[in-house]
Amino acid sequence: MAQDSGEPVSQAELAGSPVLLAETPAAPARRQRARIPLAPGEVRWLALPFLAPALVLLGAILLYPLIYSIVRSLFADGPAGGFGSFAGLRNYGSIFTDSSTLRAVENNLLWLVVVPTIVTILGLIFAVLTERIRWATAFKTVLFMPMAISALASGITFALIYADQPSRGLANTITVGIHDAFGSSSAYPTVFSNDAAAYSGSASAGYTTKSTFAPGSPALLPLTGLNLQSPPPDARQAAMPSAARGVYGVVWNDFRLGGGGTAGKIDPRELGLPGIQVQAIRGSQVVATTTADAHGGFVFPGLTSGRYQLRLPAANFAAAFGGVSWLGPNLITPAIMIAYLWIYAGFAMVLLAAGMSAISRDALEAARMDGATEWQVFRRITVPLLAPVLTVVFVTLIINVLKVFDIVFIIGQSAGANQKYSDVLAVSLYNAFGNQQYGLASAIGVILVLAVIPMMVVNIRRSRKEQR
Amino acid sequence: MTAIAGADIVTGAISRSRPARIAARTGGGALRIFLVVVGLIWLVPTFGLLVESLRNPAQYANGGWWNAVAHPAQLTFSNYSALLKNHAITSSFLNTIEITVPATLAVVLIGAAAAYAFAWMDFPGRDWLFLIVVGLLVIPIQIALIPVVRLYSVLGISGSLYSLWIFHVAFGLPFAIFLLRNYFAGIPRDLIEAARMDGGSDLLIFRRIVMPLGLPAIASLGIFQFLWVWNDLLVALVFSNASTQPLTVALASQTRQFGNSIDILASGAFLSLIIPLGVFLAFQRFFVQGVLAGSVK
């Protein structure tokens, strides 16, 4: 494992793996342990001073609250959060009827379905890929590091990444960059026309010419508003297309810096609007579509007869893509899940890597000698032998995800009014607690306990096996 | 370990044909690049937080932290000097230390004593009691909030450091006992029996044999508990008051107006993570062992 040093391996495993690797060499030593016979007359309550502090604390802070909460969950809220009248299971019912707690239940289910699986798979991928890399230690340290950091700090870190304005948050800067790189952003968000005589429509609906154009009569489509401080790099002096057949014309920015020029006429130093989309319309049907060249010229060579209206569709003028609202109602839960994944992928990786180092190298090498591909080795040998560790990782993540609080609370709070869309059960419990809805809070708590009972049983069974 | 891996690569290379070797090498190259990219992606969030904490908050409105990477002249320590003058933050930082250190020491001491009893002493119901402790490992702390708040108000310690210590220690104990008992039980039996033959008391055996030999496990536990308490938010949100609140709570209240308090949040978050990070890097081995053993928690 990454942390190899002078320490004997068996000792490290002794400390590290009572749960995970019951089959390690250290385990038999534990199993053989038997009771030490007491000397005659020795008193059995000698253990009490050693045990008492722990038992008192466990009884007062864990066991008693467990029983108290179960009872409390069956009662309505009295004054100041005290016991009210007996309510049966009504507190439990209201978890599934109240819209805010119901959303928390749904979110929790989403967490359960998505997160443990993805984190386990990622951890497995990283563990396998780093197995033969010499600087695996460095890689593992980097990925494991978030485990040491508080969820508060991670939450602030990711709230920073998800900041709404594209210029501030990394996630949106990348999203906008990718979006723009694929060219679907509009080229001319500032360009428009005020010429009500020439066009009907608007920038948001697209502009349609009022007059119609026949083949051979050039169409002049003036617009204004182009950012002349930084015009499109490929924009050139506006001009009619050279090889003009069919319906043709020019779309240009009918304005030049420094003044002069005539409205509605192509003057020197006025730029074409390259790439702008032009549609030819007959009746109300779009019959042809083209885009303008660097000089703003466009041609419909196929339209050789008839008269057509021309339209500059709204897509040309759509406002710039402003990024995604990561912490908005729809994406806030997935966004928080990504932060969680950042924290726990290293955890899964380290556990699985430890499990893999316990797999006999002979089995792997023998399979490779027999001509098995790396994929076959992975699928047929590594994964089955790793199954117990995979289970532990997966179940641990399920328990953690059930109780997830800090990271959801912090990122949610930074999202302001959208916080409610991120709620999970543990956050609902905290809110109910703050509102002195102790019956409801206790019921949520009991549900969380019920949900971890299967894991409790597994732990106890495994521990009993070891005691024998 | 490195030596074994190295030998593997060598023998593997010899036994493979030339095309396979080339394929393996280029594949390895792509793999290395992939892993480097993943590693960088994992570092970016924390690095961004660090850079943001070193920027004038006015620049937050103008653009993201990466602008400061291009213009390092923008970086300043003013957020940190402001943070150190902010009484609410400095006192909460001291509270974090005051909460964490005793809660860690106490859990080690109380847990080790109980673990010794479970491992090497005989008393009625020992195995059953231990199974209960194991069962308590996965109990979520949420279940205890309301009853313990009431208990504390009866005891008159609401909001005090005691209330935080007690809660953290109690919820640290199942893991502490579980981890240490399993480790202590692996100590060679002869050592303990010989000491008993010589008339050594349990206290002596505990102090002179079990604790020193159990040091690796105790270190794991200590680091794990330290980080757990240091990083805690929920327990402190519920049980601390204005004068005992730790850094996490002080900062959490600032996240309501995220954009307005980015200077405090970024530098404060970095302050809160730098000590756990140092502990993690210095004692990584013990921390990993603690996590491996504590994966049930």
pLDDT tens per residue across span A163-193: 876 567 788 777 777 776 665 555 787 788 8
Better-predicted residue by pLDDT, A41 or B158: B158
Residue of A nearest to B116 (CA): A50
CA of A300 vs chain B CAs: smallest distance (Å): 44
Chain B residues closer than 8 Å to A71 by CB = none
* Among the ranges given (A141-155, A241-255, B36-50, B123-137), the one the predictor scored with the smallest mean pLDDT: A241-255
- Interface test mutation site (partner A, options B16, B109, B138, max chain A beta carbons within 10 A): B138
pLDDT over threshold 80, residue B13? no
Radius of gyration of chain A (CA): 35
Whether B284 sits inside 8 A of A456 (CB atoms) is no
Q: Answer whether A170 sits within 8 Å of B110, measured CB to CB.
A: no
Q: What percent of chain A has a predicted confidence (pLDDT) above 90? A: 30
With a threshold of 0.90, does the pTM exceed it? no
Q: Is B21 exposed, middle or buried (0-12, 13-18, 19+ CB in 10 A)?
A: middle
d(CA A115, CA A193): 51
Q: Per the CB < 8 Å rule, is B238 touching A433?
A: yes
Q: CA–CA separation, A66 vs B147, rounded Å?
A: 8
Residue in A45, A173, A409 nearest the CB of B123: A45
Q: Is B103 on the interface with A (CB under 8 A)?
A: no
Does residue A3 register a pLDDT over 60? no
Q: Is the pLDDT of residue A44 over 80?
A: no
Structure confidence at residue A322 as a pLDDT band (50, 70, 90): low
Residue A370 predicted with pLDDT over 90: no
Task: Give the Cα-Cα-Cα angle B291, B296, B297 (nearest 5 degrees).
Answer: 80
- pLDDT of A34 reads 45
- Looking at beta carbons, which residues of chain A come within 8 Å of B64? 163, 167-170, 173
Nearest Cα neighbor of A220 from A316, A282, A301, A292 is A292
* A195-225 confidence digits (pLDDT tens): 888 888 887 788 899 888 988 888 989 988 8
Contact B142 A12 (CB under 8 A): no
Listed range (A80-84, A284-288, A428-432, B175-179) with the worst mean pLDDT: A80-84
Q: pLDDT tens, B115-127?
A: 999 999 888 888 8
The reply to whether B50 touches chain A by the CB within 8 Å rule is no
Mean pLDDT of A71-92: 88
**Residue B165 contacts A, CB cutoff 8 Å:** no
Measured at the alpha carbon of residue A93, what is the angle toward residues A88 and A96, in degrees to the nearest 5?
165
Strand-by-strand arrangement of the A285-291 sheet: A199-202, A206-209, A309-312, A277-282, A285-291
Using the 8-state DSSP alphabet, how is residue A317 labeled? Answer: G
What ipTM was assigned to the predicted interfaces of this complex? 0.85
> What pLDDT is attached to residue A32?
41
Least confident range of B20-24, B99-103, B115-119, B191-195? B20-24
Q: In whole angstroms, give the CA distance from residue A170 to residue A324.
A: 11
- Residues of chain B positioned with their CB less than 8 A from the CB of A362: none
Q: What is the pLDDT of residue B145?
A: 94
Q: What is the nearest CA distance from A9 to chain B, expressed in angstroms?
A: 11
A464·B170 Cβ contact <8 A: no
Q: Tell me, what's the pLDDT at B10?
A: 33
Count Cα atoms within 13 angstroms, Cβ side, for A123.
32
A-chain residues near B122 (CB < 8 A): 35-36, 38, 44, 47
What average pLDDT does this structure show over A347-370? 84
Choose, out of A30, A130, A157, the residue to mutate when testing the contact with B (most B CBs < 10 Å). A157
Cα–Cα dist A147/A139, whole Å: 14
**Ranges A334-348, A453-467, B60-74, most confident:** A334-348
Q: In the beta sheet, which residues pair with residue A249?
A: A219, A298
Rg of chain B on CA atoms, in Å: 25
Contact (CB<8Å) A157/B48? yes
- In the three-class reduction of DSSP (H, G, I as helix; E, B as strand; rest coil), residue B159 is classed as strand
- Model pLDDT, residue A165: 63
Residue B211: the pLDDT is 92
What average pLDDT score do residues A385-395 get? 88
Tokens 């780093």 belong to: A130
Helices (H), A145-218: 151-161, 170-181
Give the pLDDT confidence score for residue A417 in this predicted structure: 82
What is the pLDDT confidence band of residue A468, given thresholds at 50, 70 and 90?
low
Rounded CA separation B135/B130 (Å): 9
Under an 8 A CB cutoff, do B122 and A38 touch? yes
How confident is the model at residue A342, as a pLDDT? 95
Is the confidence at residue B39, as pLDDT, over 50? yes
Q: How confident is the model at residue A33 (pLDDT cuts 50, 70, 90)?
A: very low
Chain B residues with CB inside 8 Å of A64's CB? 147, 151
Say if the Cβ atoms of B43 and A30 lie within 8 Å: no
pLDDT higher than 70, residue B175 = yes
Residues of A in contact with B114 (CB under 8 A): 50-51, 53-55
Grade residue B7 by pLDDT with cuts at 50, 70 and 90. Answer: very low
Least trusted range by pLDDT, from A273-282, A348-357, A371-380 = A371-380
**Any idea which of A65-69, A313-317, B80-84, B117-121 has the lowest mean pLDDT?**
A313-317
- Interface A-B: count of C-beta contacts within 8 A: 354
Q: Which residues contact A14 (CB under 8 A, 6 or more apart)?
A: A26, B182, B183, B186, B217
In this structure, are residues A141 and B42 in contact, taking their beta carbons and an 8 Å threshold? no
> Which pLDDT value is given to residue A24?
34
Average pLDDT over residues B144-151: 94
**Distance between CA atoms of A167 and A176, rounded to whole angstroms?**
10
Please judge whether B113 and A53 are an interchain contact, meaning their C-beta atoms are less than 8 angstroms apart: yes
**DSSP classification of residue B57:** G
Mean pLDDT of B267-276: 91
Q: Give how far A288 is from chain B: nearest CA, Å.
A: 42
CB of B296 within 8 A of CB of B140?
no
Residue A194 reports pLDDT greater than 90: no
* Residues in chain A, total: 468
CA angle B195, B200, B203 (to 5 degrees): 115
pLDDT value of residue A458 = 82
Q: Both tokens of residue A190?
A: 């500032």
Q: Is the pLDDT of residue B20 over 60?
A: no
What mean pLDDT is reported for chain A? 82
Task: Please give the residue that has the higher pLDDT: either B145 or A468.
Answer: B145
> Given this model, what pLDDT does residue A226 score?
84
Q: How far is A18 from chain B (nearest CA, A)?
A: 6
CA dihedral A50, A53, A58, A60 (to 10 degrees): 150
The tens digit of pLDDT for each residue in B50-75 reads: 988 888 877 777 777 887 777 777 78
User: Which among A64, A414, A444 has CB closest to B255?
Assistant: A414
As a whole number, mean pLDDT of residues A238-255 equals 86
The answer on pLDDT for B2 being more than 50 is no
% of chain B with per-residue pLDDT over 90: 46
**pLDDT confidence band for B280 (50 / 70 / 90):** confident
Is it the case that residue A1 has pLDDT exceeding 50? no
Stretch A441-459: mean pLDDT: 90
Give the mean pLDDT of A451-462: 85
Q: Is the pLDDT of residue A449 over 60?
A: yes
Q: Is the pLDDT of residue A28 over 80?
A: no
Identify which of B133, B293, B235 has the alpha carbon closest to the alpha carbon of residue A403.
B235
